[in-house]
Amino acid sequence: LQGIFVLGLPYALLHSGYSGLFLLILAAALCCYTGKILIACLYEENEDGQLTRVRDTYEDIANTCCKNLSPELGGIVVNVTQVMELILTCILYLVVSGNLLSHSFPYIPLTEKTWYVIAFVTLLPCIFIKTLKTVSKLSQLCSLVHFIIILVVMSYCLTQIHQWSWAKFRLSIGFEEFFVSVGVIIFSYTSQIFLPTLEGNMKNPGEFRCMLNWTHFFACVLKTTFALTAFMTWGEETKEVITDNLPSFLQTIVNLCLLTKALLSYPLPFFAATEIVYSCISRGKHSNYRSPIFALSVRGSFLLLTLLMAMLIPHFVLLTGLTGSVTGAVMTFLLPSLFHLKLKWEKLCFLEKCADTSVFILGFLCSLAGIVCSIKGLLEVFG
């Protein structure tokens, strides 16, 4: 929940004003709620009235809900959406890496797209990652670097507290910029695709709801504090990636830390996406599809795809907004509420049905508006 995408939140506040602060809190509450109902869909009551875990993954829930239409239709939709979100996340990390390299070494006469290629080359070893054990070690280092970055940015902002003014917040907001900001905020909270696995591996799954409450509460406090502090410091001059606002003596150091974090963050979504695709292709197929060479080919193709997409859409906030609007809203709001209504309809009270329906409608409207606005913004960028 505390990823590199928090760096785009101050820019989201620039375009959403006071409503952005409300959205940061609302998104945390809604994401926490949909996380709970998604996990509820993994359980059914047995003959003794006790809840028993009868499903293991998001895909299993989807297949159960769509079994009357097609036994595997729901799983296909979920897998495609998951892969889209994970690959777009990888593209974002590559975009951030290229942006940070170009800003860290402005005296080297290279284009930003050339820096993307350099970042791509450093990520080539990812195609040889075979287990989550390797990814977890990289993620530990990533978390350490993340807290160093946040500490440095917050410390500098606090030295500028004499410049803070609530007048920097907008009372009027633009429709298009607002919905791009909604996508950015939603995407910063998305974690639903990991929750079934997380809950299944907890020592005491009964504490899952409590854990979800506290993690989303602290994530909301940290995100709101960071975004507000940074925006109050730079106001209208807030840039897409907030570290670009730092003075030169700090910017190079922080950018190098961010570069390290972005590169260390890449393997997790990359590994997850390629494992989903590889398992879908090799399931029940000829033994050639399960060979190490074929696995390397899948990973290599995905790595190349992220480079090509990064070079086509090198805009951090617009791409984050599009990702949040397309896949984030679907996986976080639309599908959990829809599946919960489908599987638990007879056992839900009236208020619970209203809550699920409201989340679904809200998610659909935000997703639709965010997609239109993000795509329009990207088209304007490309002239």
In contact, 243 and 9? CB cutoff 8 Å: no
* CATH number of the structural domain spanning residue 230: 1.20.1740.10
C-alpha to C-alpha distance for 359 and 33, rounded to whole angstroms: 9
Cβ neighbors of 80 (< 8 A, separation 6 or more) are: none
Which secondary-structure segment (H or E) carries 144?
helix 132-159
**Most confidently modeled range among 24-38, 186-200, 368-382:** 24-38
CA distances from 199 to 65, 80, 319, 350 (A): 20, 22, 30, 27
Q: What percent of the chain has pLDDT over 90?
A: 16
Give me the mean pLDDT over the 273-278 stretch.
Answer: 82
| pLDDT band per the 50, 70, 90 thresholds, residue 36 | very high
Task: State which amino acid sits at residue 238.
Answer: T
Strand-pair partners of 52: 44
Give me the mean pLDDT over the 138-144 stretch.
Answer: 84
pLDDT value, residue 37: 95
C-alpha to C-alpha distance for 315 and 112, rounded to whole angstroms: 11
Q: Which domain holds residue 194?
A: 4-382
Give me the mean pLDDT over the 232-240 stretch.
Answer: 85
pLDDT at 320 over 70: no
Q: What's the token pair of residue 278?
A: 């590889």
Of the candidates 72, 58, 40, the one whose C-alpha atom is nearest the C-alpha of residue 344 is 40
Domain total for the chain?
A: 1
C-alpha to C-alpha distance for 240 and 8, rounded to whole angstroms: 6
CA distances from 155 to 150, 169, 190, 229 (A): 8, 21, 27, 10
pLDDT in tens, 202-216: 889 889 999 999 999
Cβ neighbors of 1 (< 8 A, separation 6 or more) are: 188, 189, 191, 215, 216, 219
